[in-house]
Structure 1
Amino acid sequence: MQLGGPDYTVPLGRRDGLTFATRKVTIANLSSQISNTGTILASLATKNLDATDVVALSGGHTIGLSSCSSFGNRLYPTQDPIMDKTFAKNLKAICLTNYTIATTMLDIRSPNAFDNKYYVNLMNRQGLFTSDQDLYSYSQTKHIVINFANNQSLFFEKFIIAMIKIGQLSVLTGSQGEIRANCSARNPST
């Protein structure tokens, strides 16, 4: 909310797991930045997320940073022809090689604001990751990108819906899990 994003009420009553997710489990549940939209849609459809949910959740890339190694494949050895030439030139000034240890903002238009400019970037071929830029190239999601670029309120509305849906995945019930007194630590054993 401090960055201007939508405010919404998080549903209550979700229990916390008794273990923390491992890196392997976390990675297995995330799409790669080099995945194409068809692959991402198919993967997230298994979690009851539709194309609008996927495009809305991807809008979270309106804030944050990325390392060169996460998108360098779009610059080296040859530039992705879909990528805007000026955008690529500016990225190459930061990322001198595919493995340069440097970072850049995910959203060049408004890096410190949670807004719909991420979608404007995609329409201008300035998406950092393949998985982002492909949302505008893919026929099933292109119109959603355009709608969100033109209507920030619509993006916020659909983002909230998708966040609530994602928060309802794999809900623990009954004696499964616990309600933590401190979100970042398991409750002391009794």
Structure 2
Amino acid sequence: MDTNNFIIFVLSTILIVLIISPNHCSAQLKHNYYSNSCPNVETIVRNAVKKKLQETIVTAPATLRLFFHDCFIKGCDASVILASPSGNAEKDSEDDLSLAGDGFDTVIRAKTAVERVPGCKHKVSCADILALATRDVIVLSGGPNYGVELGRKDGKTSTKASVEGHLPLARFNYKQLRKMFASHGLSQVDLIALSGAHTLGFSHCSQFSKRIYNYKSKSSIDPKLEQGFAKELQKQCPRDVDPRIVIPLDPTSPFRFDNSFYKNLQQGKGLLASDQALYTTRKSKRVVNAFAANTTLFERVFVAAITRLGRLGVKTGNQGEIRHDCRVVNND
């Protein structure tokens, strides 16, 4: 068995383990959860997401990132969408301030569309709508289609303090990334697969400026960056750059969900230090190389990983509620 086939065999085995080893609470989630209460919910959400995506391409990465941030803090309960009059909600934290408004707007629009259907009114949680919308932006961007587990309730609390230190940062090395993902019961393969979401989206220059200026000395560049790519980044992000300028995380196909993110890592073109860090150990390189070589494999493992992500901290039964408005908790 040659190296590539061996890697695919090993990763396929891991994939099977991921699928048959559910996270805590996942048994209470199911694909047909709304079959009686709101049978057309997936179509309603998909149509709303499609319309929003036609208006602005940023909808896809913004929604994907919103889902990740929500699940990584207090579990997948849409608490990241809650607003606070005093500015003390999750969305007000420094690490969440960069979340694009289009992600929030996508969920709110989809929720509004669902609420307009008489039989669906007050039946579908914002957390489930966010999970569905995330799947939909992936599909509409050329990525894999998959069944979304449903049955989450919405959280009732959201605090800025809960975010600090609980999200991976752009400067993280591989050890730091693995530790954070492991704290949520997510594996090395989950980490690398979910990072593939960076095939969509953009980053502000401030998130990687130290890689192209003042890396170790005043004029040095991060040696992990391909030097030609680094020089190009310097042109796009001069030292006194406008903070509103953004650069695609995947310079090859920034609007398409594909495996080019991994091909970029092989060439030293991972924009963020935390992205290129995935190509710094022997084991992680093997996974990156396998994903770069086989789109189908990447998509299958990604679906398993994002399904596991969607099970984190799920609130069911009396643990949460179904918000009437995603931005505020219910009064009753």
TM-score by length of structure 1 reads 0.92
Aligned-residue offset at 1:29: 2.3
1:2 aligns to what?
140
Answer yes or no: is the 8 Å Cα contact 1:107–1:118 preserved in 2: yes
With over 3 angstroms needed to count, the CA separation of the structure-2 counterparts of 1:23 and 1:40, relative to structure 1, is same
2:224 aligns to what?
82
SS in 2 for 1:28: coil
1:56 aligns to what?
193
**Larger helix proportion of the pair:** 2
CA distance in structure 2 between the aligned counterparts of 1:179 and 1:188, rounded to whole angstroms: 8
Aligned-residue offset at 1:28: 2.9
With over 3 angstroms needed to count, the CA separation of the structure-2 counterparts of 1:164 and 1:124, relative to structure 1, is same
CA distance in structure 1 between the aligned counterparts of 2:295 and 2:241, rounded to whole angstroms: 35
With over 3 angstroms needed to count, the CA separation of the structure-2 counterparts of 1:146 and 1:26, relative to structure 1, is same
RCO comparison, higher one (Cα < 8 Å, 6+): 1
CA distance in structure 1 between the aligned counterparts of 2:169 and 2:234, rounded to whole angstroms: 22
1:95 aligns with 2:237: yes
Aligned-residue offset at 1:188: 3.5
Answer yes or no: is the 8 Å Cα contact 2:205–2:246 preserved in 1: yes
Query: Which one-letter code corresponds to 2:222 in the other structure?
Result: D
2:150 aligns to what?
12
Aligned-residue offset at 1:138: 1.8
2:258 aligns to what?
115
CA distance in structure 2 between the aligned counterparts of 1:8 and 1:52, rounded to whole angstroms: 19
Answer yes or no: is the 8 Å Cα contact 1:69–1:100 preserved in 2: no
2:59 aligns to what?
none
Aligned-residue offset at 1:2: 1.5
SS in 2 for 1:135: helix
Aligned-residue offset at 1:24: 4.2
Please tell me the root mean square deviation across aligned C-alpha atoms, in Å: 1.6
**Which runs of no fewer than 5 residues in structure 1 stay unpaired?**
none
**Between Structure 1 and Structure 2, whose CA radius of gyration is higher?**
2
CA distance in structure 1 between the aligned counterparts of 2:285 and 2:162, rounded to whole angstroms: 30
CA distance in structure 2 between the aligned counterparts of 1:76 and 1:187, rounded to whole angstroms: 45
With over 3 angstroms needed to count, the CA separation of the structure-2 counterparts of 1:30 and 1:187, relative to structure 1, is closer
CA distance in structure 1 between the aligned counterparts of 2:305 and 2:235, rounded to whole angstroms: 36
Aligned-residue offset at 1:27: 4.5
CA distance in structure 2 between the aligned counterparts of 1:91 and 1:145, rounded to whole angstroms: 23
CA distance in structure 2 between the aligned counterparts of 1:10 and 1:74, rounded to whole angstroms: 38
Answer yes or no: is the 8 Å Cα contact 2:151–2:316 preserved in 1: no
Answer yes or no: is the 8 Å Cα contact 1:63–1:106 preserved in 2: yes
Answer yes or no: is the 8 Å Cα contact 1:56–1:159 preserved in 2: yes
SS in 2 for 1:175: helix
1:33-48 map, 5 Å: 33-48=170-185
SS in 1 for 2:235: helix
Answer yes or no: is the 8 Å Cα contact 1:72–1:98 preserved in 2: no
TM-score by length of structure 2 reads 0.54
1:30 aligns to what?
167
1:172 aligned to 315, 322, 327, which one?
315
Query: Which one-letter code corresponds to 1:8 in the other structure?
Result: Y
